[in-house]
Amino acid sequence: MSSALGSQQTGDTSFERDVFLIPDPNVDVRFGHILSADLFGHDHLAVLFERAEKFRELDMGDAADRAELAALHVGRQVCSLFYEPSTRTRLSFETAAVKMGMGVVSTEAAEQFSSAAKGETIEDTIRVLDEYNYDAIVLRHNEKGAAVRASEVCDTPIINAGDGAGEHPTQSLLDAYTIAREFDGQLGGLNIVIGGDLRYGRTARSIAKLLSQFPDNHITFVSVPELQIGEDILRTLEQTGTTYQKTDDMLDAFSDADVIYWTRLQKERLENPSLILDESFTIDNRALGVLPQNAIIMHPLPRVGEIAPEVDADPRARYFEQAGNGLYLRMALLHEVVS
Ligand code: NCD
């Protein structure tokens, strides 16, 4: 079985540097199964962000640059297995693979179109895919913990593309990449407001975990009590010394924020379908009025009303750019995983 992430350095060095876009050549960072955001430290991000910038440059370049990119991983194949709907995650992974010359074999709606519909377990499906000798398997599943279970029966690196209300580690990587590009490579010393459905929203859980690896961040979780962030995430924050608060007052939280990370109500996961997030959780002109001028507004997308269309024209809106960053970050990640 391939290892999870690791680096040769021992001890926690992530708190020593707050600018990290330059990888340390003395550190050998390894990438295996990508299961949780807490597998990544400073060194992994440094390698990924540098690589993502390089791939962006080549992809935006001339035909020769594009050809260089397309020659990188000829002969390698990625399998993309999605049991839940996806737009950005699946298409950016697959596009990333294709742009680097890899072959892609893909099943969307695997809950309907794979043998899962006949009752096959995820473990058995993954055991079979492992036999096909892919270089990586990108897996999205509706059950929390499914990616970990898959990784336990498989040598091929599993990339968790979202496991129910569990985690979405690659989203948190592209989120961190977006923040780092905005704040001169810095991921510490920030006031981050994470709001919306924090109970069932896996992206909120993963970005909170990842940001807790960096010094002096303060996280304000904004939601109704029923949809507040899980105790497991709060324990992680406490262990890393990341300060936090919980509130249902969006406007108050916005008034001294650097980063807004907003999310939608995860209707498909609600045990109580009558739960809603009312308009006091909608980012609109009123919220823009209290938000500092140098703050940025992020969202993993899709949005379904919780960011009003009027916000799109505001210079602080970053959610479409954030999605675009996902392509280059996922190119970097695939490159590291298959190399
Ligand atoms: C997120 C997801 O699937 O968790 N989408 C994404 O990958 N960008 C967020 C969501 O669906 O709300």
H or E stretch at 317: none
Query: Quick check: CB of 160 below 6 Å from ligand 1?
Result: no
25 CA distance to ligand 1 middle (Å): 34
**Spatial distance between the Cα atoms of 271 and 152, rounded to a whole number of angstroms:** 29
Least confident of 62-66, 75-79, 110-114, 188-192: 110-114
Nearest to 266 by CA among 115, 144, 132: 144
Euclidean distance between CA atoms 285 and 309, whole angstroms: 10
Q: Which two tokens stand for residue 174?
A: 């592209």
Please give the average per-residue pLDDT across 27-37, as a whole number: 90
Asked if residue 53 lies in contact with residue 328, where contact means CB atoms within 8 angstroms, the answer is yes
Q: Kindly give the number of the ligand 1 atom that is closest to the alpha carbon of 171.
A: 7
State pLDDT tens for residues 254-305. Answer: 999 999 999 999 999 999 989 999 999 999 999 999 999 999 999 999 999 9
The one-letter amino acid code at 104 reads: V
Nearest 5 degrees, angle CA 36-CA 249-CA 211?
25
Q: What is the CA radius of gyration of the chain?
A: 19
Average pLDDT score over residue span 22-42 = 86
**Residue 332 and residue 45 in contact, taking contact as beta carbons nearer than 8 Å:** no
Helix, strand or coil for residue 200? coil
Q: Which atom of ligand 1 is nearest to the CA of 323?
A: 8
Q: What is the pLDDT of residue 45?
A: 94
Q: Which atom of ligand 1 is nearest to the CA of 161?
A: 7
- Give the pTM: 0.93
Q: What is the 3-state secondary structure (H, E, C) of 70-120?
A: HCCCCCCEEEEEECCCCCHHHHHHHHHHHHCCCEEEEECCHHHHCHHHHCC
- What per-residue confidence (pLDDT) applies to 30? 84
Given a contact cutoff of 8 angstroms between Cβ atoms, the answer to whether 285 and 310 are in contact is: yes
Q: Using 50, 70 and 90 to split pLDDT, how confident is the model at 205?
A: very high
Tokens of 115: 């043998």
Q: Is 203 in the pocket of ligand 1 (CB under 6 A)?
A: yes
What is d(CA 314, CA 322) in angstroms, rounded to the nearest whole number? 15
Mutate to test the pocket of ligand 1, among 163, 171, 329 (most ligand atoms within 8 A of CB): 171
Q: Whose CA is nearest to atom 6 of ligand 1?
A: 300
Which residues are part of the catalytic machinery?
88-89, 118, 140, 168
Q: Whose CA is closest to 317, among 301, 332, 331, 330?
A: 301
Q: Can you tell me the distance from the alpha carbon of 62 to that of 57, in angstroms, rounded to the nearest whole number?
A: 10
